[in-house]
Amino acid sequence: MSAIQIIPLNWYVTLSAILFGMGVLGVLFRRNAIIILMCIELMLNAVNLLLVAFSAQHSDPNAQVFVFFIMAVAAAEVAVGLAILMMIYRNSKTTDIDFLNRLKW
Amino acid sequence: MIQLAWLIPLLPLIGFLIIGFGGKKLSKNLVGLVGCGSVLAAFAISLGIFFQLHGTSQVVRLTDWINTGKLQVDFSFTIDPLSVLFMLIITGIGFLIHVYSTGYMHEDEKYDRFFAYLNLFVFFMLLLVMGSNYIVMFVGWEGVGLCSYLLIGFWFKNTEYNNAAKKAFIVNRIGDLGFLLGMILIYTTCHSLSFDKVFSHVHSKAGDLGVLNLIGILLFIGACGKSAQIPLYTWLPDAMAGPTPVSALIHAATMVTAGVYMIARSSVIFVNAPAASELVAVIGLLTLLFAATIGLFQNDIKKVLAYSTVSQLGYMFLGLGVGAFTGGVFHVMTHAFFKACLFLCAGSVIHAMSGEQDIRRMGGLKKYLPITHLTFLIATLAISGIPPFAGFFSKDEILAHVYEHNKIYWLLGVVGSMLTAFYMFRLYFLTFHGKFRGTHEQQHHLHESPKSMTIPLVVLAVLSVVGGLVGIPNGNYHLLHAFLRPSFSVAELAANWNDDATSFGSEEARLMIIAVLAACAAIYFAYMLYRKNNVLPTENEKDMSKYQRVVYHKYYVDEIYNAIIRKPLDWISGMLYKFFELRVVDGFVNGIGSAVKWTGGVIRYAQSGNIGFYMFAMTIAIIIMLLVKLF
């Protein structure tokens, strides 16, 4: 029985929930676009953790395949997101989303 | 030989493809050769089949065609006496008319197109009579309608001709709808559309009168359109706008008899549907009288022949309606001979008269056109029912059956035959006798037509003389009856006919003598009026009596149709355009546009540009979705 299986499942669930909640709150309340991006990553990783934990608990490797997919997609998403943020910063010298409100009606 | 039946329609189709695609690149001689040759070859094969048939009925199956679930339709041909007879008429007379056209159309710049259309017509017409189910028949039925349209409007630079073509097409469409509905009803009652299955089904379950009558009436509506019966006959006289060979082939000898063929083919249905049969007889009778009276006062040589065609078709339907299927088909055959001959003679006359069609400007053509005159006279005698010409036998056979069915119908039929004799001889005397009434220029041009035109005339005239001999009204000598018997045997069985119609009694002889005397009296009357007294139809409408004027204007039927059908339709569509189209439809479409514009204008303020708000909205939305999913 590996170490990961010794820890009860509840703990993983709780930890994931906390991480996910932090991510949501960060996305909702922080104003720096980079931090928002990081919070999104946090949410994704909370889900990853949950998937891996259940996978280990049930000895079912399927969930790990999902995790790899999520990581790959997240990497791509971050690459694009950061590139966009770079361009925004170069043009407007800010990453504060409250100032980036010109794209409207 | 019978297995080669598929070649018969294929040859004219190949002819059509060669001429149609070869077009102007082919020389006129080659076009004529291909056009006539393909039909002649088809005729040769038909003749071979005729000699090998021996009264059998066979189905030559080419391929599956429609094969979906319950509906199974084969592309196959029925080769039985009825279809073989029609094949012989179509290819034989078709060939003669093709030959005639090589002379008649020689100066026309669209010579190649004319032959392409004619070959296409022969192909579709053969498909119509050879098909072994209603679907193949319907394809041919529509195809000949198309060719008819193309050929009526052949000289399409003339708006009037185009209108005539459109009129023919549209009026036919009304009939076709009836045919189509009839087919659907046949399918829903018999679960098949192939002739064998439908007829055996109808025969074995003869009893459901309502449905069978309805089927019969619907099929007859189809026949009314194609075969120009009341109330759908108005297109045929206008169809004379087409070149004269077309009038002869399509609008006299073959296509207009498609309705007769269809009803003869469906004889089993009609025998079991007395009400529909009665309707066929009554409409036929009305049409024959109505058209004959119109024919009395027409002055266009082709119009007279057109109304006489309508009238003769009425005879055929009268025969079919009273159960004389052999008689009806017999009359199709003899009518094909003498009416094709008459039309071709008319073509020859028009050719000689440099395009003039008004008989008031003709006269005295006897000495200029001796062959045309003689053949025209023979065909006129044949149509008037003078023995021993062809028309006498077929008309007599129909009238004999009609007499058994209803004596009043018979009397009216004899009156119709008197009218026929009268107006045909009026036409004959005004055209060929008396003094020439045209211009000097026309008189100078008068000439007998070339050999390519006169030879078909002579052949048809000979057929008009001897063609009736296949139907001598005596059981043992009635070759046609014996030949066609296999095709009508089931119907005969169902109708429980005793064979006395073919045995020649003194009663029939009396009827025959009365009919012939009546026709002779009419001819004498025409002779007195138009030959002896040289009465000339007036050009001035004011000189006409009231009745004459009404008839001269064809009873104003076109105007009545205009008033009760076209005008209200125009009015309704005008109203619909003004109110429904402009207000409702346009209002609806524009309303959707402005509604979208308005809502967009309102809710675009939700797009505030505030990213924090977007994210908040997204989160809330996801939570709501989860909650909805959970509960």
Give the count of alpha carbons within 13 A of B282, CB side only: 8
Task: Give the pLDDT confidence score for residue B206 in this predicted structure.
Answer: 62
Among A25, A28, A99, which would you mutate to test the B interface (most chain B Cβ atoms within 10 Å of its Cβ)? A28
Report yes or no: B243 and B114 within 8 Å, Cβ to Cβ.
yes
Q: Quick one: which of B470, B86, B63, B416 has its CA closest to B253?
A: B86
In the predicted model, what is the mean pLDDT of residues B531-557? 77
In the predicted model, what is the mean pLDDT of residues B135-161? 92
Q: Is B98 helix (H, G, I), strand (E, B) or coil?
A: helix
- B459 Cβ contact list (under 8 Å, min separation 6): B96
In the predicted model, what is the mean pLDDT of residues B7-13? 92
Q: At what angle do helices B81-104 and B28-53 cross, to 10 degrees?
A: 160
From the list A24, A36, A101, the residue facing B610 with the nearest CB is A101
Task: Give the pLDDT confidence score for residue B435 in this predicted structure.
Answer: 84
Residue type, B384: S
**Could you give the CA distance from residue B468 to residue B333 in angstroms, rounded to a whole number?**
9
Residue by residue, what is the 3-state secondary structure of B167-234? HHHHHHHHHHHHHHHHHHHHHHHHCCCEHHHHHHHHHHCCCCHHHHHHHHHHHHHHHHHHCCCCCCCC
Kindly state the DSSP code that residue B1 receives in the 8-state scheme.
-
Task: Give the pLDDT confidence score for residue B284 in this predicted structure.
Answer: 93
Residue B144: pLDDT band with limits 50, 70, 90 = very high
**For B602, which residue in chain A has the nearest alpha carbon?**
A105
Rounded alpha-carbon distances, angstroms, from residue B280 to B141, B230, B570 = 20, 10, 32
8 Å CB contact of A104 and B608: yes
Task: Give the pLDDT confidence score for residue B504 in this predicted structure.
Answer: 57
pLDDT at B492 over 80: no
Contacting residues of B for A100, CB less than 8 Å apart = 609, 611
8 Å CB contact of B615 and A104: no
Report yes or no: B327 and B350 within 8 Å, Cβ to Cβ.
no
In the predicted model, what is the mean pLDDT of residues A62-90? 92
Per-residue model confidence as pLDDT tens digits over B186-200 = 998 888 888 888 888
Contacting residues of B for A102, CB less than 8 Å apart = 609
* Min distance A104 CA to chain B CA atoms (Å): 4
Instruction: Output the CA angle B264-B267-B273, nearest 5 degrees.
Output: 130
8 Å CB contact of A31 and B612: yes
**Could you give the CA distance from residue B50 to residue B146 in angstroms, rounded to a whole number?**
29
Report yes or no: B277 and B216 within 8 Å, Cβ to Cβ.
yes
Task: Give the pLDDT confidence score for residue B362 in this predicted structure.
Answer: 85
8 Å CB contact of A103 and B605: no
8 Å CB contact of B619 and A100: no
Count of CB atoms within 10 A of residue B631's CB?
A: 5
pLDDT at B535 over 90: no
What residues form DSSP beta bridges with B131? B77
Among B611, B619, B623, B626, which would you mutate to test the A interface (most chain A Cβ atoms within 10 Å of its Cβ)? B611
In the predicted model, what is the mean pLDDT of residues B570-580? 91
The values of phi and psi at residue B59, to 5°, are -115, 120
In the predicted model, what is the mean pLDDT of residues B329-337? 92
Report yes or no: B83 and B129 within 8 Å, Cβ to Cβ.
yes
Task: Give the pLDDT confidence score for residue B503 in this predicted structure.
Answer: 52
Tokens found for residue B49: 């089949």
Rounded alpha-carbon distances, angstroms, from residue B310 to B231, B267, B401, B457 = 11, 22, 21, 22
**Could you give the CA distance from residue B497 to residue B483 in angstroms, rounded to a whole number?**
17
Q: End-to-end CA distance of chain A, in Å?
A: 58
Q: Quick one: which of B458, B508, B457 has its CA closest to B478?
A: B508
Task: Give the pLDDT confidence score for residue B495 in this predicted structure.
Answer: 65
Q: How far is CA B599 from the centre of its chain?
A: 60
* Min distance A73 CA to chain B CA atoms (Å): 20
pLDDT at B29 over 50: yes
Out of B6-20, B198-212, B501-515, the most confident range is B6-20
pLDDT at B500 over 50: no
Report yes or no: B168 and B148 within 8 Å, Cβ to Cβ.
yes
* Min distance B618 CA to chain A CA atoms (Å): 10
Query: How many A/B residue pairs have CB atoms within 8 Å?
Result: 32
Question: Percent of chain B at pLDDT above 90?
Answer: 45
pLDDT at B108 over 90: no
Count of CB atoms within 10 A of residue B372's CB?
A: 27
pLDDT at B175 over 70: yes
Contacting residues of A for B605, CB less than 8 Å apart = 105
Residue B222: pLDDT band with limits 50, 70, 90 = very high
Contacting residues of A for B601, CB less than 8 Å apart = none
8 Å CB contact of B604 and A24: no
From the list A24, A97, A105, the residue facing B611 with the nearest CB is A97
Contacting residues of A for B619, CB less than 8 Å apart = 24, 27-28
Contacting residues of A for B612, CB less than 8 Å apart = 28, 31, 97-98
Beta strands in B80-150 (DSSP E): none
Residue type, B238: D
What residues form DSSP beta bridges with B79? B58
Cis peptide before B243 (omega within 30 of 0): no
- B412 Cβ contact list (under 8 Å, min separation 6): B285, B289
Give the residue with greater pLDDT, B55 vs B87. B87
Q: A60-77 burial string, b = 16+ CB within 10 Å, else e?
A: eeebeeebeeeeeebeee
The answer to whether A52 contacts chain B (CB < 8 Å) is no
Contacting residues of B for A33, CB less than 8 Å apart = 611
8 Å CB contact of A105 and B604: yes
Give the residue with greater pLDDT, B185 vs B549. B185
* Min distance B602 CA to chain A CA atoms (Å): 10
Residue B377: pLDDT band with limits 50, 70, 90 = very high
In the predicted model, what is the mean pLDDT of residues B133-151? 93
Contacts 24+ apart (CB under 8 A), B141-146: B141/B176, B141/B179, B141/B222, B141/B226, B141/B258, B141/B262, B142/B176, B144/B226, B144/B250, B144/B254, B144/B255, B144/B258, B145/B169, B145/B172, B145/B173, B145/B176, B145/B226
8 Å CB contact of B608 and A100: no
**Could you give the CA distance from residue B278 to residue B77 in angstroms, rounded to a whole number?**
30
Interface of A with B in 1-40 (CB under 8 A): 24, 27-28, 31, 33, 36
**For B623, which residue in chain A has the nearest alpha carbon?**
A24
From the list B605, B609, B619, the residue facing A103 with the nearest CB is B609
Per-residue model confidence as pLDDT tens digits over B546-566 = 777 777 788 888 888 888 888
Residue B380: pLDDT band with limits 50, 70, 90 = very high
**Could you give the CA distance from residue B362 to residue B341 in angstroms, rounded to a whole number?**
19
Give the residue with greater pLDDT, B530 vs B338. B338
Tokens found for residue B65: 């065609």
8 Å CB contact of B605 and A105: yes
Contacting residues of B for A97, CB less than 8 Å apart = 610-612
Task: Give the pLDDT confidence score for residue B474 in this predicted structure.
Answer: 67
In the predicted model, what is the mean pLDDT of residues B602-619? 86
Sign of CA dihedral B579, B581, B584, B590: negative
8 Å CB contact of B609 and A36: no
pLDDT at B477 over 70: no
* Min distance A16 CA to chain B CA atoms (Å): 17
Beta strands in A4-104 (DSSP E): none
Please give the domain boundaries of chain A with CATH numbers for all domains.
7-92 (1.10.287.3510)
**For A103, which residue in chain B has the nearest alpha carbon?**
B609
Give the residue with greater pLDDT, B559 vs A18. A18
In the predicted model, what is the mean pLDDT of residues B13-36? 89
Task: Give the pLDDT confidence score for residue B476 in this predicted structure.
Answer: 63
Kindly state the DSSP code that residue B59 receives in the 8-state scheme.
E
Task: Give the pLDDT confidence score for residue B125 in this predicted structure.
Answer: 94
**For B613, which residue in chain A has the nearest alpha carbon?**
A28
Report yes or no: B539 and B360 within 8 Å, Cβ to Cβ.
yes
From the list B605, B608, B611, the residue facing A100 with the nearest CB is B611
Tokens found for residue A62: 């399927």
**Could you give the CA distance from residue A87 to residue A80 in angstroms, rounded to a whole number?**
11
Task: Give the pLDDT confidence score for residue B61 in this predicted structure.
Answer: 86
Rounded alpha-carbon distances, angstroms, from residue B368 to A35, B245, B349, B419, B612 = 111, 21, 10, 28, 105
Per-residue model confidence as pLDDT tens digits over B412-462 = 999 999 999 999 999 999 888 888 888 888 888 888 888 888 999 999 999
**Could you give the CA distance from residue B330 to residue B501 in angstroms, rounded to a whole number?**
14
In the predicted model, what is the mean pLDDT of residues B321-342? 91
**Could you give the CA distance from residue B565 to residue B436 in angstroms, rounded to a whole number?**
43
Tokens found for residue B180: 């189509």
* Min distance B623 CA to chain A CA atoms (Å): 12
Task: Give the pLDDT confidence score for residue B343 in this predicted structure.
Answer: 92
Q: Is A76 helix (H, G, I), strand (E, B) or coil?
A: helix
* Min distance A28 CA to chain B CA atoms (Å): 6
The secondary structure of B330-387 as a DSSP string is HHHHHHHHHHHHHHHHHHHHHHHTTT--BGGG---GGGT-HHHHHHHHHHHHHHHT-T
